[in-house]
Amino acid sequence: MAKRDYYEVLGLNRDAGDDDIKKAYRKLAMKHHPDRNPDSKDAEEKFKEAKEAYEVLSDPDKKAAYDRYGHAGVDPSMGGGGAGQGFDGFGDAFSDIFGDIFGGGGRGRSNVYRGADLRYNLEISLEEAARGAEKTIRIPTLDNCDTCHGSGAKPGTQPKPCTTCGGAGQVRIQQGFFSIQQTCPKCHGSGRIIPEPCSACGGAGRVKRQKTLEVKIPAGIDDGMRLRHGGHGEPGINGGPAGDLYVEIHIKSHPVFQRDGDDLHCEMPVSFATAALGGEIEIPTLDGMARIKVPNETQSGKVFRLRGKGIRNVRSHAPGDLLCHVVVETPVKLTDRQKELLREFDEISNSNADRHNPKAKSWMDKVKDFFGG
């Protein structure tokens, strides 16, 4: 079947300019694209026809040959300039058109990249987490080379555009109807090559360094929270912004307290006599020692709550509580006299168990009921 006139295909007059040609092709390409018409052979043919017309009319040399000789001037089988170069030409045309639509395209990209974020694990004490602190940390990082100022090139020389990808950082590979972009194997996506690398950094443009940073830890911070330090990550590439540093907090285990949110928990050993008779004992808090009155007949496991003696919330600054868990301590390394007194005490207690040991008596009654006694 004879080919239609390319101007007719795009709906243009023969004096149409470059912008008119591009706009006409863009409209047809969007309308007949196979992704929008997956089951339409007619749309596919119109799409191919439009791209072929655009390939010729958007190229000044091919357009001049077509205007003078018609299809014969650009048909390779007739010795012309080669509108039928397969889909490589289409790939470029498609990239140009849709690059305008979606912001950028494959050519002339600046290849500016943001630097990578870094993470630093910082271990602090419970007291530092509760009161806040300032820490000095040293972090390994990549920094711009002082010799080449990050260019990677020997002083007095400049990087050059990659000849394989033309500076785009990507190359186009044809697979069937569509072309696929991949990272350029020669410049690895940078879009440039360095003929004479900097001797200080080996052409990388960056060197390893240790950076010192002051970190302010807010009072009330909890385990696993992160502090962000903007711009203290790795430097960007080709003038891109630096990444961020995230300091992740890890709180050391404490010999006395266990933290639960803003509350603190601790075990409070109480002697057998104090638990039975009552008394007053000292317990530690983060602000110093405090005294607690223990009522008589206190049982092991009882919890005393000290309001406001926990940790202030990092956001609301409302303080948590300190919860003291009573642990009645069984005497050890008893003298003969202590043993004698305890045996006497036990005999008196067992003689009236309902009164002196109600929990033990109740438990034994349940055991008897369970075994049918």
Looking at residue 332, which CATH number applies to its domain?
2.60.260.20
Work out the mean pLDDT of the chain and round it to a whole number: 82
Nearest to 51 by CA among 20, 86, 25, 71: 25
Question: Residue 10 corresponds to which amino acid?
Answer: L
Please check whether residues 228 and 304 belong to one and the same domain. no
Check residues 222 and 115 and name the one with the higher pLDDT.
Answer: 222
Please check whether residues 240 and 290 belong to one and the same domain. no
Please check whether residues 123 and 225 belong to one and the same domain. yes
User: Is residue 338 in a domain?
Assistant: yes
pLDDT over 90 at 306, yes or no: yes
pLDDT more than 70, % of the chain: 83
HEC profile of the chain: CCCCCHHHHHCCCCCCCHHHHHHHHHHHHHHHCCCCCCCCHHHHHHHHHHHHHHHHHCCHHHHHHHHHHHHHHCCHHHCCCCCCCCHHHHHHHHHHHHHHHHCCCCCCCCCCECCCCEEEEEEECHHHHHHCEEEEEEEEEEEECCCCCCCCECCCCCCEECCCCCCCCEEEEEECCEEEEEECCCCCCCCEECCCECCCCCCCCEEEEEEEEEEEECCCCCCCCEEEECCCCCCCECCCCCCCEEEEEEECCCCCCEEECCEEEEEEEEEHHHHHHCEEEEEEECCEEEEEEECCCCCCCCEEEECCCCCECCCCCCECCEEEEEEEECCCCCCHHHHHHHHHHHHHHHHCHHHHCHHHHHHHHHHHHHCCC
pLDDT more than 90, % of the chain: 33
pLDDT at 364: 65
Residue holding tokens 């101007």? 7
Please check whether residues 270 and 295 belong to one and the same domain. yes
Is 228 within 8 Å of 246 (Cβ atoms)?
A: yes
Res. 286 pLDDT band, cuts 50 70 90: very high
Check residues 208 and 111 and name the one with the higher pLDDT.
Answer: 208
Which is it for strands 170-175 and 118-124: parallel, antiparallel or unpaired? unpaired
Please check whether residues 84 and 152 belong to one and the same domain. no
Distance CA 225, CA 162 (A): 44
pLDDT at 174: 66
pLDDT at 363: 65
Name, of 93-97, 270-274, 298-302, 319-323, the range with top average pLDDT: 319-323
* Residues in CB range of 21: below 8 A, 6 or more apart: 10, 12, 54, 57, 58
User: Is residue 30 in a domain?
Assistant: yes
pLDDT at 255: 94
pLDDT at 179: 64
Q: Which range marks the domain in which residue 144 is found?
A: 118-159+194-251
User: Is residue 273 in a domain?
Assistant: yes
User: Is residue 304 in a domain?
Assistant: yes
Please check whether residues 213 and 276 belong to one and the same domain. no
Question: Phi/psi at 294 (nearest 5 deg)?
Answer: -100, 115
Among left, alpha and beta (phi > 0; psi -120 to 50; other), residue 308 is left
Among residues 251, 272, 297, which one ends one of the domains? 251
Sequence length of the chain is 373
Encode pLDDT of 47-96 as tens digits: 888 888 898 898 888 888 787 777 776 765 544 444 343 334 444 444 44
Please check whether residues 304 and 245 belong to one and the same domain. no
Encode pLDDT of 106-131 as tens digits: 444 445 678 888 899 999 999 999 99
Please count the structural domains in the chain.
3
pLDDT at 105: 42
Mean pLDDT for the stretch of residues 128-138: 94
pLDDT at 172: 77
User: Is residue 242 in a domain?
Assistant: yes
